[in-house]
């Protein structure tokens, strides 16, 4: 089985590859797939670091190029691909700064990728990562679900809605067997902040645990649907494995999430850290980031995702402990 992960050099992409390698195969429709023979990690550039020697793994290959270049996308399919995880994207804050780039990467790139998958004619299993940023606008209810009308208020969110619709229609037409994983904010990402407006949410855990201050650009009362990266990875894989009959005609599924205020996230960090010295949280509002975050869903009803068996941690404190285990105390994977 050959797997392609776009955005494969990023944090989620690398951890997804590591989990697939650990499992050795996927359980598609309740049956073991053939063993994974290659995972192709495609991205626009080398990452600052590779997790656990991932790039040197005998079953991993890498490719770097522009996903909005149709010729480059076609080159990723020199060998038949049986499963695709499409993570590559211009993120929220960056998309607001550069509309044209977001359109090229998020829309043209997705279309070129989906057409290359379609050309294989092998009913490839496809997972597209969407976002709760697909929701927004004046008519957005306080709590959103898989059945809420999508009226995003960012360019990033708009491209995610279009991506979900493309997945639905390509699947309806039998071009591939797709599904969209609508992600909440992923915590806790290691390394440096990215250009996502929600990047500070990982920072409010990561920096204090490193003994460094973290600027909080929104009000402490701001609600944020969040989920730990282990559950994000396992949820993406679980969604890939589910039979199409479990999803029906709407292939977009919201992953489970904790609906927490920023203050509750900061409190969870202190509870999880115990007596460990922490860097301080510095409240310094950024109106641009605050406006973007306020325009996203405040709470998510993910009953459908839970009913499909998608996982979530028992608490936000558990997410913090997982991060400490994996990245700070040297005992994790």
| Residue partners of 30: CB distance under 8 A and separation at least 6 | 241, 243
Question: Catalytic positions, please?
Answer: 156
The pLDDT, as a whole number, for residue 332 is 47
Residue 52 has pLDDT above 90, yes or no: no
Higher pLDDT, 244 or 142: 244
Structure tokens at 297: 């869903």
CATH topology (fold) of 187-224+258-298+313-328: UDP-galactose 4-epimerase; domain 1 (3.90.25)
- Name 81's bridge partners: none
In sequence order, the β-bridge partners of residue 4 are 40, 84
Q: Where are the beta strands (DSSP E) in 76-140?
A: 83-86, 125-131
pTM: 0.95
Give the CATH number of domain 2-184+227-254: 3.40.50.720
The ranges of the chain annotated as CATH 3.40.50.720 are 2-184+227-254
Confidence tier at 20 by pLDDT (50, 70, 90): very high
First to last CA, the chain: 24
pLDDT tens per residue, range 249-289? 999 999 999 999 999 999 999 999 999 999 999 999 999 99
């Amino acid at each position: 089985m050959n797997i392609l992960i776009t955005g494969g050099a990023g944090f989620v992409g690398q951890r997804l590859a590591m989990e697939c390698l650990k499992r050795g195969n996927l359980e598609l429709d309740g049956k073991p797939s053939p063993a994974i023979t290659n995972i192709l990690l495609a991205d626009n550039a080398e990452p600052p670091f590779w997790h656990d020697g991932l790039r040197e793994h005998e079953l991993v290959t890498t490719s770097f190029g522009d996903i909005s270049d149709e010729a480059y996308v076609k080159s990723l399919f020199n060998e038949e691909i049986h499963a695709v995880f499409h993570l590559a994207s211009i993120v929220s804050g960056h998309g607001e700064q550069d509309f044209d780039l977001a359109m090229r990467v998020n829309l043209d790139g997705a279309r070129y990728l989906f057409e290359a998958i379609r050309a294989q004619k092998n009913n490839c299993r496809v997972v597209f990562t969407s976002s709760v940023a697909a929701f927004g606008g004046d008519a957005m209810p306080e709590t959103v679900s898989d059945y809420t009308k999508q009226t995003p208020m960012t360019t990033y969110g708009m491209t995610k809605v279009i991506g979900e619709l493309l997945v639905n229609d390509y699947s309806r037409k039998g071009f591939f067997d797709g599904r969209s994983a609508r992600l909440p904010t992923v915590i806790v990402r290691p390394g440096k902040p990215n250009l996502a407006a929600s990047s500070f949410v990982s920072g409010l855990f990561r920096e204090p645990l490193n003994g460094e201050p973290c600027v909080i650009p929104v009000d402490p009362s701001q609600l944020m649907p969040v989920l730990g990266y282990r559950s994000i990875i396992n949820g993406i894989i679980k969604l890939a494995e589910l039979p199409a009959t479990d999803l029906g005609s709407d292939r977009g599924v919201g992953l489970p999430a904790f609906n927490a205020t920023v203050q509750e996230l900061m409190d969870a960090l202190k509870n999880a850290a115990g007596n460990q010295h922490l860097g301080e949280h510095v409240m310094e509002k950024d109106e641009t980031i605050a406006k973007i975050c306020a325009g996203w869903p405040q709470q998510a009803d993910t009953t459908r995702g839970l009913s499909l068996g998608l996982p979530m941690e028992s608490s936000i404190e558990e997410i913090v402990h997982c991060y400490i285990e994996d990245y700070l105390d040297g005992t994790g994977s």
